[in-house]
Structure 1
Amino acid sequence: MDSVGAGGTINADRVFRVLVDELWFASDFYYSPIPLCSFGGWCASLNYLFSVLIIAGAVAVGWIYQDKDVVSSTPYKVVTFSLLLVIVLVETWEIVGGVCSNWTKMALLGHYIRHESAWRRSSCLHAALAAMLRLRPARRWCDKIGQNSVLESSRFRRRTGLLSEQIYGHAGLMTSVQVLPAVKDAVLRSLLSSYGRLRKGGAAPRRVGGKVDWAMYDSRKSWAWDGEGSSNTELILMWHVGTRLFEMKSTSASPDMIAACHLSYYCAYLVAVAPELLPDCAAWTEKRYKEVLEDVREALGEDGGAGSESTAERYGRVVQALSADSRDKVLRRGAELGRHLVEEYAEEEASACQILADFWSEMVLYVAPSENVKGHVQAMARGGEFITLVWALLLHAGVTTRPAGTPGGAIP
């Protein structure tokens, strides 16, 4: 964060690349078949040697069984050769995972630095080292964030089917998009705006991401719902609905608008598929999301109101449907928020875009601090989550806990 670029700006892309590399090492540590980083050079070499010998032994046993016809029964043959194949695949995967590990690469580089003269005498060793450094570990951050919409639940669904969730998991059902520079810049900008005011212990004087600073944005509180007595989950869903409604009417393609939309969809994605990474109780968050989603379907239909009408007609119909007294309070207040943004900032879309970008970037910063290390480790197993990068960034900035209190009252 101290690497100031041209014009005194922070290179957000470089900051997040460093975080990716750091979490990449952590992922290798947790998910390598054998923790080679805790082994010495000879132990790692013996481990690879034993794996090769096991593979060779399994192949030899299979060849003997086939050549000598040791097993004559077909079912027994199928079972025997299936077990031998599993052994070969497991040991091969262990070798590949270990060779591709960043820890192995660092160990080789360390050995090269300590014995450079010996390495230089062999061009083959140089070529082998260069080839290994180009190998990538099995799991790596793909520089994408999941997207989801409460108002159009099918819009971002990538897969459907009876067994899709069991095969791909919750996250695998949703579409992902590239993490654009505007998103990284917005998050880092929000962090830096509070970084100088952080107190010892990690708490910030200003409530990061929880409540909008009304003095900065607008003196009217009625449209924005300060969230007293409500949860973080409900606040996220309400602002997501308002952001989506404003997006329907907006013609802006500014970086602020892009960041606001992508982070809004991402927070809705976290509520849907990764509630364990959010402050509220995961079971309660999942239940509350399903209630809101069911109410959206009752109000707008199964397709979320998507049709052949124009954007203006669709916006008016959605706002009217969500504003009905029978609708969930999240939808009513989200519709109120969206209508206010559209009406009050019709001539100043840039200001509304900045409000939304600041809110969503601060919301991501607010929900990111967590003691649920296991949840982030599990997220790394499926390719990583953007909120895990923000979590690591806040750890380096000294932010280990959320500010006192919550943006939406007590956590259920």
Structure 2
Amino acid sequence: MLTNEIIRRVLSGFKGSNGQLQDGQSALARNQLLSQFSWSCTLPTHIHKILVWHIGTTIAMDGHLVPRTGDHRVAKTLSDYCAYLVAFVPYMLPGHGYDNQCIFDAVIMEAGEGLTGCDTVSNRCDRLMAMVLPSDSSCTILQLGGKLGRELRGVAPEERRWKVLADFWAEFVLFLAPSSNVEIHAEKLAAGGEFMTHLWALLTHAGVLECPSTTADVGGNNGAPAHDSRV
């Protein structure tokens, strides 16, 4: 369930941007962290970006799984929600639903092999952070998530870390909402509705019908690590 606090955070960000969708980079810039994390905003697809940032957010919050502040709650809930969409409603996200599902399935297979024996979230986070990036810079989603998690843990104090993550996810979830797949939204409305459907309807009425193009759409990396084609 998404609280009024979370809904207000997303919509106030949209209002503050004068109705312009941003993919998270604006949030990082406002927090003076864009140069440090720009590599994580130029991944091959939006699904790569959701998963890398979800892994990174989970690692950054390891040991603080119960929300401690409003920012912490907003960041954790929206990160989990976007991961849920990837896993269970991939056709509601940008890109082709089948491709989205294939990317997610590849990450699940890699996690099954790479996280064997890790029976707690903390153990998994430690294993991910300990992953060594390949020398040829061909990194998988899990490896990039571990790298992002390490870097996010370096953002101090913790209150600033939670604010950065809350700002990022509140901006990014709205960026993901435009869609031409009316059928999936109609299907979800008949079943009770999704938060993403409400955002989609809002943006449609505002005349925002598609995501703005980004470097991620064309595969540019602007200096980011290269990525394993399997995922």
TM-score tier by shorter-chain length is 0.7 to 0.9
Q: Report what 1:125 is aligned to.
A: none
In structure 2, runs of 5+ residues without a counterpart are 220-231
Q: Deviations over 1:160-207 (max 9, x none)?
A: xxxxxxxxxxxxxxxxxx222222122112111113xx4xxxxx2xx5
Aligned equivalents of 1:222, 1:194: Cα separation in 2: 22
Q: Report what 1:184 is aligned to.
A: 7
Aligned equivalents of 2:187, 2:139: Cα separation in 1: 33
C-alpha change, 1:382 and 1:407, in structure 2 (3 Å) is farther
In the comparison of the two structures, how many residue pairs are matched? 216
Q: Report deviation, 1:351.
A: 1.4
Q: Report deviation, 1:270.
A: 0.7
Q: Report deviation, 1:223.
A: 4.3
Q: Which structure would you say has the larger Rg?
A: 1
Q: 1:392 aligns with which of 201, 206, 214?
A: 201
Aligned equivalents of 1:242, 1:299: Cα separation in 2: 16
Q: Deviations over 1:382-409 (max 9, x none)?
A: 2211100111222333433322x13622
Q: Report deviation, 1:373.
A: 1.0
Q: 2:115 aligns with which of 277, 289, 300?
A: 300
Give the residue type in structure 1 aligned to 2:112. R
Q: 1:216 aligns with which of 24, 27, 30?
A: 30
Contact 2:72 2:163 in 1 (8 A): yes
C-alpha change, 1:324 and 1:297, in structure 2 (3 Å) is farther
Matched position secondary structure for 2:87? helix
Aligned equivalents of 1:235, 1:354: Cα separation in 2: 19
Aligned equivalents of 1:262, 1:289: Cα separation in 2: 19
Q: Which one has more relative contact order, counting CA pairs under 8 Å at least 6 apart? A: 2
Matched position secondary structure for 1:230? coil
1:187-198 to structure 2, matched below 5 A, reads 187-195=10-18, 198=19
Q: Report what 1:369 is aligned to.
A: 178
Q: Deviations over 1:265-324 (max 9, x none)?
A: 11111111111111111111100000011111111127xx334x9x5x66433421x445
1:335 has 2:146 as partner: yes
Contact 1:234 1:330 in 2 (8 A): yes
Q: Deviations over 1:223-266 (max 9, x none)?
A: 45244351000000000000000110447611111111111111
- Superposed CA RMSD: 2.6
Contact 2:179 2:200 in 1 (8 A): yes
Q: 2:78 aligns with which of 251, 256, 263?
A: 263
Aligned equivalents of 1:271, 1:355: Cα separation in 2: 22
TM-score (norm 2): 0.82
Contact 1:366 1:402 in 2 (8 A): yes
Contact 1:227 1:409 in 2 (8 A): no
Q: 2:56 aligns with which of 242, 248, 265?
A: 242
In structure 1, runs of 5+ residues without a counterpart are 1-177, 199-203
TM-score (norm 1): 0.48
Q: 2:127 aligns with which of 303, 309, 317?
A: 317
1:70-89 to structure 2, matched below 5 A, reads none
C-alpha change, 1:323 and 1:243, in structure 2 (3 Å) is farther
Percent of residue pairs bearing the same amino acid type: 32
Contact 1:295 1:328 in 2 (8 A): no
Q: Report what 1:278 is aligned to.
A: 93
Contact 1:271 1:285 in 2 (8 A): yes
Q: Report what 2:192 is aligned to.
A: 383
